[in-house]
Amino acid sequence: MAQKAAKTLATRNAATLSRTHLISAALHILFLILHFVFGRPRSLKPYFFLAVPTLAIEYYLDLVGRPKFNPDGSLRTAGEDLNATGLTEYMWDVLYWTHGCIFAACVFNDRAWWLWIVIPFYSVYLAYTTVMGVKKGFAGMGGGSAESDARQGPKSKTQMKKEKRGDRPKQRAVR
């Protein structure tokens, strides 16, 4: 059963990587053809500064996600899961956003490279939400008593009815 899961992962990774390489090659070739053949005013400086690092990301994703086979054709390793969350997901986001920026630069000229500024803002947003999530997770670990937690938490319908009648919830002694 585990071998079936590995084969499925290997097939999915190979298809994802092939599709990504084709899209990336088509966009880069389109940009370079528009720059060199048609002589449209495009600067190569932002292209190399912003698009070439994503080629390194693409190479890294290929390195860790490409399935490897034995000489007899059997699967040696399926590679890492390219649909994993965390850093892998962020790298895909950067790669896809850069593909969009290259396409926009082909259509709208060099001003479209300014769209790339979204990536640092997105990084700050992800870092902020991660820190706040960790902080929220640690908030309930100590410092508060059960009595203060009961007052702050949501109340059930039964608790609200008892309070309305004047009944107070009974506190149990902690042993």
Q: How many residues does the chain have?
A: 175
Can you give the residue range of the structural domain that contains 83? 2-142
Where helices occur in the chain by DSSP H, the ranges are: 2-36, 44-50, 52-65, 87-108, 118-139, 146-152, 157-165
First-last CA distance in the chain? 49
Domain count, the chain: 1
Query: Which pLDDT score, from 0 to 100, does residue 23 have?
Result: 95
Query: Which pLDDT score, from 0 to 100, does residue 41 have?
Result: 65
Query: Which pLDDT score, from 0 to 100, does residue 83 have?
Result: 87
Is 164 a domain residue?
no
SS3 74: coil
Query: Which pLDDT score, from 0 to 100, does residue 59 have?
Result: 95
Residue 54, both tokens: 């994503």
Residue-by-residue pLDDT tens, the chain, 175 positions: 568 888 888 889 899 999 999 999 999 999 889 888 877 666 788 888 888 889 999 999 999 999 888 899 888 888 888 888 888 888 998 899 889 988 988 888 778 888 888 888 888 888 888 888 888 878 766 654 455 444 556 778 887 777 777 766 566 666 6
* Contact (Cβ atoms closer than 8 angstroms) between residue 101 and residue 113: yes
Is 46 a domain residue?
yes
Is 92 a domain residue?
yes
Dist. CA 62–CA 14, nearest whole Å: 9
Query: Which pLDDT score, from 0 to 100, does residue 175 have?
Result: 60
Dist. CA 20–CA 95, nearest whole Å: 9
Dist. CA 76–CA 99, nearest whole Å: 32
In eight-state DSSP terms, residue 82 is T
All residues at 6 or more sequence positions from 159 whose CB lies less than 8 Å from its CB, including other chains? 169
Is 15 a domain residue?
yes
Query: Which pLDDT score, from 0 to 100, does residue 52 have?
Result: 83
Across 99-115, b (16+ Cβ under 10 Å) vs e yields bebbbbbbeeeeebbeb
